Chain A
Amino acid sequence: MMQFGIFTVGDVTTDPTTGRTPTEHERIKATVAIARKAEEVGLDVFATGEHHNPPFAAPANPTVLLANIAAQTERIILSTATTLITTNDPVRLAEDYAYLQHLAEGRVDLMMGRGNTGPVYPWFGRDIRDGIPLAIENYALLRRLWTEEAVTWSGKHRTPLQGFTSTPRPLDGVPPFVWHGSIRSPEIAEQAAYYGDGFFHNNIFWPMSHTKQMVQLYRRRFEHYGHGGADQAIVGLGGQVFMRRNSQDAVREFRPFFDVAPVYGHGPSLEDFTRETPLTVGSPQQVIERYAAMADEVGDYQRQLFLIDHAGLPLSTVMEQLELLGGEVVPELRRIADARRPAHVPDAPTHASRVAAAGGGRDMTVHAVDEVTGASPEVAR
């Protein structure tokens, strides 16, 4: 089944219609409420961004927020949009996301990104010119930390490791599924293809022609690296919608938020922006028509995430958007997607499907002393 969900950047933005700005505390609690509501209305995925600067109340370490949500939900998959693979220590990523997997009973995957805030690199002692090399080296190490019990490693960008064991070990011996998000860098599409990981194109600020080019590159290279046919690659897209029963009401209500929104405010008109990007402002039926057609451009894909809580929209409005999304739009989009998708195109991997593919789950707990030899784990291997 195709997955539908929401992703948030956690912006703390003034509501332009009231002049009121939420506190960080309000925004953080609202984010949790939004995630719970997403599950309640039947969505499959909640993903949070990672931020290190105002005006964002997205967590600096998404696992903190996701663990809290995991404790209050039963079914929804918790993910990121994105986890910074460039400025985070891959050892901490291996540890934190494996721990989250245990807390969330496997309802976890994550999306790697390089980040779009330049100063984050120097804040964490990195150089933005190393963005791509950091993404490549750090991820290569992260994979080893999840799959190998004792890692001896050296690279350019972090302290070497000797017989290091990242704990806890991934739940059931299966690391979380990884998506790689990139808007403009062919190297990242290439990376996702090489590993047979997912590729997510956050196309919300981009024309479809560009999205298509990136996805086609990823699909072609996925096949080249022997993971299956190009149409079997695992693709996710971003989206952005605002809905009211009557499309004129949607436009009237959303325009003041659009006009001054962070990122694109004061720029193209709402009409231009909706024509050139996936932003759809209108009735649920209009959203269904627009998003059902995305697969015509990029092929049958596995995950669609919507941005619905930014630009200062009040929590009550976001909740109404979720009702429409979960109540009317997603069931219809899911039906259309599942009807058109050929049988050989896979679903997005989940923890359960990955455990099954691995031939069942295995507990990988590393004990302080090996029961047989009495040696420490790095020597016992």
Chain B
Amino acid sequence: MTRRIVVVSAGLGQPSSTRLLGDLLATATTDALLESGMEAQVEVVELRELAHDLTNTLLAGFPTGGVGRALETLAGADAVVAVTPVYQGSYSGLFKTFFDVVERDVLRGTPVLLAATGGTARHSLVLEYALRPLFTHLGAVTVGTGVFAASEDWGSAGEAEQGLTARVRRAGTELAALAGARASSGPRDPFADPVPFEELLSGM
């Protein structure tokens, strides 16, 4: 069965090293799934394109413009790669805004690989003190290995044991293992499958 991998990238540059990291992680995950005989399909949610619509969504209270489709894409994911640049020591405001408008329980049980980019490796713990608590709150299953890429990583010897390529490969393998083990059921639809009223009444 084909696994749906969704990359959520909050990179703003064009081209963006944040998006590049997201793509590398998606490829590593796809490769690992293929090795276990599973197909993968990758979709990318570029938050830059949704920046105005996300602000309008906050103000209007319903998903405006392309936000609705992005949220549907996320809800249908078997695995998520969430990648943000580090701003002022944390995830970017745009990144947080997107996850602020995700409905409750949409990511519950979904494997999520955490990744971030920044100027120096001094920020690498942002994955642990900022991203991981956010996704724990959302009920996601976070992959043990997060990937932080500092500027210097893009010019380092990638194949070294601790190099970026090795870290990407390890993280992708871990995400693939979770995504492959997960029963792909698609998003739960309370409109197709409501709780019967007798059950609501007796729950009182």
Contacts and interface: CB of A to CB of B under 8 A. Distances in A.
Interface of B is mostly: loop
7 contacts: A207-B63, A216-B191, A217-B194, A221-B194, A264-B59, A267-B58, A267-B64
Contacts of B55: 267
Interface in A267-320: 267-268, 272-273, 276-277
A226 to B, nearest CB: 13
Interface stretch (B5-13, B21-29, B111-119, B196-204): B196-204
B195 interface: yes
Given A207-B62, A267-B56, A140 B191 contact: no
Contacts of A206: 62
Sorted from nearest, which 8 A-B pairs have the closest CB atoms?
A267-B59, A194-B197, A268-B56, A186-B190, A267-B60, A186-B194, A267-B56, A217-B191
Nearest to B63: A207
A268 B200 contact: no
A85 to B, nearest CB: 14
Contact of B204 (A156, A207, A272): A156
Interface of A is mostly: helix
Interface residues of B, number: 21
Interface string A129-144: 0001100110010000
Interface residues of A, number: 35
Contacts of A240: none
A267 B65 CA distance: 12
Contacts of B61: 205, 263-264
A194 to B, nearest CB: 4
B68 interface: yes
Contact of A213 (B191, B195, B203): B191
B59 A136 contact: no
Interface string B34-68: 00000000000000000000011011111111001
Interface of A: 132-133, 136-137, 140, 155-156, 186-187, 189-191, 193-194, 205-207, 209-210, 213-214, 216-217, 221, 225, 263-268, 272-273, 276-277
A49 B57 CA distance: 25
Interface in B165-204: 190-191, 194-197, 200-201, 203-204
B103 to A, nearest CB: 9
Contacts of B59: 264-268
B194 A272 contact: no
Contacts of A155: 204
Given A133-B203, A267-B56, A193 B197 contact: yes
Contacts of A217: 191, 194
A252 to B, nearest CB: 22
A221 B193 CA distance: 10
Nearest to B199: A190
A178 B103 CA distance: 29
A11 to B, nearest CB: 16
